[in-house]
């Protein structure tokens, strides 16, 4: 991870952000734009502070990105393809900024994009022997930007789908993972199949794929004579987090990355099971570029080189995402099926 040097470190707890200065006891709680000093305390059942991961959420985090030398095979593939970058000598990579640990803006300048997705952008640019030019855009704007050639590549938690493959080429770098998280001192140790959720009170997002999975498991359980799931819906993430930490609900089922970040920083929850985000199909997260422009094969070479040589795992370790690891990057694997 980045060298901290007593810089500000973000700790996401209960849906609000606390800024802590390493080596200083006092913290500042930011709520609705207002700051107030608070006293740090370890919640009952939470992991000891010494076991928590401290993420540098300032622009200095860039200095800790895993580095890679240009990969000759990738550069040769790029030259043979005839691909031309949007700007000579640079790889223009776009991404949205939303929430740690995936993609967000540095808290000290509100400009620098940080997170695992920004790290992968840097890694790919380095491996291609190009200077990274990072761009931030709204989620709705990246498809046209890629197709028009304004951007060369996107790394922004994009799931491969059969529909997207009509317009874009992809090289995978993470699994799309959903996680079951429970209170740190919960007696629940594993949720791996339908029977494990019988009778539990579980937070899930309405209209999401995780809700679809849970509904299917619940029907399976009821048909088998098991207790139904108590579905809990919270529009406010902070309220849902509080309900879980206080024991009012048994588990939360949602995207693993953000939940893993919370667990790593506050120690109040733990992972007890994962499900692929495309269940029963397989969903993969990938870097995307315009269809047929010749770039994606070189990107795949860089990613596989990084997987083989440790830089890939260094990024996942840096952001607590080892549960989303893949063994090999693939170009245009089977994506989520088209919606009927």
Q: Are residues 80 and 166 in the same domain?
A: yes
Q: How many domains does the chain have?
A: 3
Q: What is the pLDDT of residue 265?
A: 87
Average pLDDT over residues 262-286: 93
Chain-centroid distance, C-alpha 141: 20
**What does the DSSP assignment read for 161-215?**
BTTGGGTEEEEEEEE-EEEEEEETT-S-----SGGGGTT-EEE--TTSHHHHHHH
Considering the domain architecture, whether residues 296 and 218 belong to the same structural domain is answered as no
Q: Identify any residues that bridge with 170 across adjacent strands, giving them in sequence order.
A: 288
Q: Are 151 and 135 in contact (CB under 8 A)?
A: yes
pLDDT at 237: 87
Q: Residue 212 is encoded by which pair of tokens?
A: 């679809």
pLDDT top residue among 112 and 47: 112
75 and 171 together in one domain: yes
Q: Are residues 148 and 87 in the same domain?
A: yes
Work out whether the CA dihedral 182, 187, 193, 195 comes out positive or negative: negative
Lowest mean pLDDT among 47-61, 102-116, 192-206, 275-289: 47-61
In a domain, 337, yes or no: no
Per-residue pLDDT, 215: 98
Element (H, E) at 80: helix 72-81
Range of the domain at 85: 64-175+284-324
User: At residue 3, does pLDDT exceed 60?
Assistant: no
Q: Which two tokens stand for residue 8?
A: 């500000």
Does the structure show a pLDDT above 80 at 11?
no
- Please give the pLDDT value at position 303: 98
Give the full edge-to-edge strand order of the sheet including 27-31.
Answer: 34-38, 27-31, 16-21, 8-13, 55-56
Structure confidence at residue 50 (pLDDT): 52
Mean pLDDT of the chain: 87
- From 114, 122, 116, 72, select the one nearest 93 (Cα to Cα): 122
CA angle 134, 297, 122 (to 5 degrees): 25
User: What's the confidence (pLDDT) of residue 100?
Assistant: 93
Stated length of the chain: 340
Supply angle C-alpha 211, 44, 185, rounded to 5. 50
pLDDT digits (tens, 9 = 90+) for 61-85: 999 999 999 999 999 999 999 999 9
- pLDDT tens string 246-267: 999 999 999 999 999 989 888 9
Domain shared by 71 and 171, yes or no? yes
Higher pLDDT, 310 or 280: 310
Query: What angle do helix axes 116-127 and 311-319 make, rounded to 10 degrees?
Result: 160
Query: pLDDT by residue (tens digit) across 130-168?
Result: 999 999 999 999 999 999 999 999 999 999 999 999 999
The C-alpha atoms of residue 179 and residue 259 are separated, in whole angstroms, by 8
- Give tens-digit pLDDT for 168-224: 999 999 999 999 999 999 999 999 999 999 999 999 999 888 999 999 999 999 999
Is 103 strand, coil or helix?
strand
Q: State the Cα–Cα distance between residues 76 and 96, nearest whole angstrom.
A: 30
Which pair of tokens denotes residue 82?
């005839």
| Judgement on whether residues 159 and 75 belong to the same structural domain of the protein | yes
Residue 210 and residue 133 share a domain: no
CA dihedral in degrees (284, 99, 18, 134; nearest 10)? 110
260 lies in the same domain as 126: no
Listed residues 60, 81, 104: the one ending a domain: 60
Of all residues in the chain, what percent carry a pLDDT higher than 70? Answer: 84
Please state the separation of Cα 107 from the chain's center in Å: 18
pLDDT of residue 297: 98
Q: Does 319 lie in the same domain as 183?
A: no
Q: What is the pLDDT of residue 95?
A: 97
**pLDDT tens for each residue of 299-337:** 999 999 999 999 999 999 999 899 999 999 999 999 999
| Cβ(164)–Cβ(283) below 8 Å | no
Write down the pLDDT at residue 48: 56
At 150 the pLDDT is 98
Indicate if 108 and 243 belong to the same structural domain.
no
The pLDDT assigned to 47 comes to: 53
76 in a domain, yes or no? yes
CB atoms near residue 100 (< 10 Å)? 22
Question: Is the domain of 201 the same as that of 156?
Answer: no
Name every residue whose Cβ is closer than 8 Å to that of residue 177 and which is 6 or more positions away in sequence: 255, 256, 257, 274, 275, 276, 277, 323, 324
Q: Does 9 score more than 50 pLDDT? A: no
Same domain, 308 and 259: no
- Single out the residue of 269, 271, 211, 215 nearest to residue 242, CA to CA: 269
User: How many helices (H) and strands (E) in the chain?
Assistant: 8, 17
Give pTM, 2 decimals. Answer: 0.80
């Amino acid at each position: 991870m980045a060298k901290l040097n007593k810089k500000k470190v973000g700790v996401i707890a209960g849906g609000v952000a606390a800024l802590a200065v390493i080596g200083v006891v006092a913290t500042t709680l930011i709520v609705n734009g207002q700051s107030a000093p608070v006293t740090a305390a370890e919640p009952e059942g939470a992991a000891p502070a010494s076991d928590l991961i401290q993420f540098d959420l300032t622009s200095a985090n860039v200095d800790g990105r895993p580095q890679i030398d240009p990969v000759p095979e990738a550069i040769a593939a790029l030259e043979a393809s005839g691909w031309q970058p949007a700007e000579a000598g640079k790889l223009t990579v776009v991404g949205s900024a939303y929430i740690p640990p995936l993609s967000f803006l540095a808290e000290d300048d509100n400009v620098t994009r940080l997170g695992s997705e920004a790290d992968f952008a840097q890694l790919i640019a380095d491996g291609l022997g190009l200077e990274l030019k990072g761009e931030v855009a709204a989620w709705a704007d990246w498809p046209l930007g890629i197709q028009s050639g304004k951007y060369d590549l996107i790394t922004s938690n994009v799931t491969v789908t059969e529909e997207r493959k009509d317009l874009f080429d992809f090289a995978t770098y993470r699994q799309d993972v959903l996680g079951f998280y429970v209170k740190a001192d919960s007696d629940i140790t594993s949720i791996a199949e339908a029977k494990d959720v019988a009778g539990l009170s579980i937070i899930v997002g309405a209209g999401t794929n995780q809700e679809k999975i849970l509904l299917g498991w619940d029907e399976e359980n009821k048909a088998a004579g098991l207790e139904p799931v108590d579905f809990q819906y919270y529009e406010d993430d902070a309220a849902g987090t509080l309900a879980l930490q206080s024991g009012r609900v048994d588990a939360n089922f949602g995207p693993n990355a953000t939940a893993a970040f919370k667990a790593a920083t506050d120690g109040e929850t733990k992972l007890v099971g994962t499900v692929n985000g495309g269940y029963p199909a397989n969903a993969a997260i990938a870097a995307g570029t315009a269809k047929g422009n010749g770039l994606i094969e070189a990107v795949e070479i860089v990613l596989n080189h990084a997987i083989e040589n440790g830089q890939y795992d260094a990024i996942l370790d840096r952001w607590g995402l080892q549960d989303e690891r893949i063994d090999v990057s693939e170009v245009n694997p089977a994506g989520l099926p088209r919606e009927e």
